[in-house]
């Protein structure tokens, strides 16, 4: 079923909300819990379609999983070598993170697996993960670099030292998971810091992971032990409301228990440099991850040239940040964000097209975008109909743009919003966004 949003113009965001659990951490909790000895109890688990796909993959691989019930999941681990061959293909749905990390984990198994996905995922590149895994001895076949991905049993993996060609937490994580099954020490060198949820959670499960500057390493054969995981609210999901409250006059919003892992807070730093009024309240730790409440009030934003070191720390939040840039006074320049071209959609092109449909022209580049903002409190966008191209983050970003539009904004192809933010429409409406969802 195709779904769409209709969002009335103007308004403000006021109140308190805890957005759904972090998708990256939810994926990893199930994966590591599955290959650990003993039970892993997860709270705050994201019940979106992507995380459920990961859960169902491991059920097919012989892992007993209870839940999710009220965000609680119990994974009964089978140990490092306890997974068994599935009866059929493993369906990752729309979850690119799941597929790429599974490639690393399954490369070390002694049985054959085939990873498939939906139409969108079937177009996403997997060669950059397959190639270093093949250097480790994995036998992996793709469809011209895209899914389906077939992983064949081999003669065992050996460790490598690998310099990532571009900053990618997914590729780093895939190689570290493969490294658990490899002989020797696997070393991954990053060109820039990326989210470190995998390293943190591996340590919580008893694995020795070394970090030395840009290098992360582990030795193969280490056993994992089940551990409690408290999943914080997802900063990527919070970003839509952070931007919405920053650009809509009169807004005053508090987002509760949000993960503020320093490898994920690029969007907070970027918004603050643009002049956003964001307070970090009651910082604390939950399950090895730093969390806090975030209070954001409307403020006059200014365009900036985004520092290259912040780009990989905000890669998933850029669609929302593009909306903020449109509402800022002056020019915003993004460079070094080529990773956006290979997400659920080409997020540079898709956002440029969506904003153009709402009367705002931007200048995309090969690895970024230039946006000349309009500033002030007047409407920045006009009424219009935009396509999200089945990309959840595009859909929610364009919906938030309606807060500064002169007329109703309609967004088509919004079905995949449920992959990361189930209940988005109800949550947004409760905070003051005039939004309706329609299905065909």
Q: Which residue of the set 118, 230, 293, 316 is catalytic? A: 316
Instruction: Give the β-pairing of 3-7 and 435-439.
Output: antiparallel
Nearest to 168 by CA among 391, 342, 387, 403: 342
Tokens 């103007």 belong to which residue? 10
Instruction: Give the separation between CA 20 and CA 46, rounded to whole angstroms.
Output: 6
Q: What span, in angstroms and rounded, lies between the C-alpha atoms of 321 and 270?
A: 8
Q: Residue written as tokens 């039970």?
A: 39
Cα separation of 325 and 87, whole Å? 49
Q: 3-state DSSP call for residue 424?
A: helix
- Identify the CA nearest to 425 among candidates 113, 6, 84: 6
**To which residue do tokens 């308004």 refer?**
11
From 137, 127, 194, select the one nearest 160 (Cα to Cα).
137
> DSSP secondary-structure letter at 21?
B
Question: Do 193 and 199 contact (CB within 8 A), yes or no?
Answer: no
Catalytic (active site) residue 316: yes
Q: Phi/psi class of residue 275: alpha, beta or left (left: φ > 0; alpha: ψ in -120 to 50)?
A: left
| Residue 94 dihedral angles phi and psi, to the nearest 5° | -105, 10
Ranges of beta strands (E only) in 117-166 are 139-143, 146-152, 157-158, 161-163
Closest to 348 (Cα-Cα) out of 328, 313, 322: 322
Q: How many helices (H) and strands (E) does the chain have?
A: 12, 25
Q: What element of type H or E holds 320?
A: helix 318-326
Length of the chain as a residue count: 440
Give the SS3 label for residue 23.
helix
Cα(303)–Cα(376) distance, integer angstroms: 12
Put residue 34 in one of left, alpha, beta given phi > 0 → left and psi -120 to 50 → alpha. alpha
| Residues ≥6 apart with Cβ < 8 Å to 66 | 73, 74, 76
CA separation for the pair 238, 333 (Å, rounded): 23
Catalytic positions:
316
């Amino acid at each position: 079923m195709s779904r769409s949003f209709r969002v009335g113009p103007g308004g403000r965001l006021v109140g308190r909300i805890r957005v759904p659990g972090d998708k990256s951490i939810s994926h990893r909790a199930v994966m590591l819990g599955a290959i650990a000895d003993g039970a892993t109890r997860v709270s705050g688990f994201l019940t979106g379609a992507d995380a459920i796909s990961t859960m169902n993959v491991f059920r097919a691989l012989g892992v007993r999983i209870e839940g999710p019930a009220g965000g609680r999941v119990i994974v009964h681990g089978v140990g490092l070598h306890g997974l068994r061959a599935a009866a059929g293909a493993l369906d990752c749905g729309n979850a690119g993170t799941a597929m790429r990390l599974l490639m690393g984990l399954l490369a070390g198994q002694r049985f054959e697996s085939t990873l498939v996905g939906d139409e969108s995922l079937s177009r996403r590149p997997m060669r950059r993960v397959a190639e270093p895994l093949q250097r480790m001895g994995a036998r992996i076949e793709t469809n011209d670099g895209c899914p389906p991905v077939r992983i064949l049993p081999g003669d065992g993996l050996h460790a490598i030292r690998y310099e990532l060609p571009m900053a990618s937490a997914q590729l780093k994580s895939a190689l570290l998971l493969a490294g658990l099954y490899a002989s020797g020490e696997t070393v991954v060198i990053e060109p820039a810091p990326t989210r470190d949820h995998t390293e943190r959670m591996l340590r919580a499960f008893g694995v020795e992971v070394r970090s030395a500057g840009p290098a992360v390493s582990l030795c193969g054969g280490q056993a994992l032990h089940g551990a409690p995981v408290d999943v914080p609210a997802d900063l990527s999901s919070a970003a839509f409301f952070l931007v919405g409250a920053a650009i809509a006059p009169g807004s005053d919003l508090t987002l509760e228990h949000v993960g503020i892992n320093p490898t994920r807070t690029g969007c907070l730093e970027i918004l603050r440099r643009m002049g956003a009024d964001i307070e970090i309240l009651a910082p604390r730790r939950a399950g090895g991850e730093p969390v806090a409440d975030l209070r954001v009030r409307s403020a006059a934003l200014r365009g900036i040239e985004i520092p290259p070191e912040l780009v990989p720390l905000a890669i998933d939040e850029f669609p929302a940040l593009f909306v903020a840039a449109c509402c800022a006074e002056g020019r915003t320049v993004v460079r070094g964000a080529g990773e956006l071209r290979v997400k659920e959609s080409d997020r540079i092109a898709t956002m440029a097209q969506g904003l153009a449909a709402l009367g705002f022209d931007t200048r995309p580049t090969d690895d970024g975008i230039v946006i000349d903002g309009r500033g002030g409190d007047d409407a920045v966008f006009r009424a219009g109909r935009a396509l999200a191209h089945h990309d959840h983050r595009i859909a929610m970003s364009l919906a938030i743009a309606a807060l500064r539009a002169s007329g109703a904004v309609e967004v088509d192809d919004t079905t995949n919003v449920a992959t990361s933010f189930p209940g988005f429409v109800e949550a947004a409406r409760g905070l003051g966004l005039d939004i309706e969802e329609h299905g065909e």
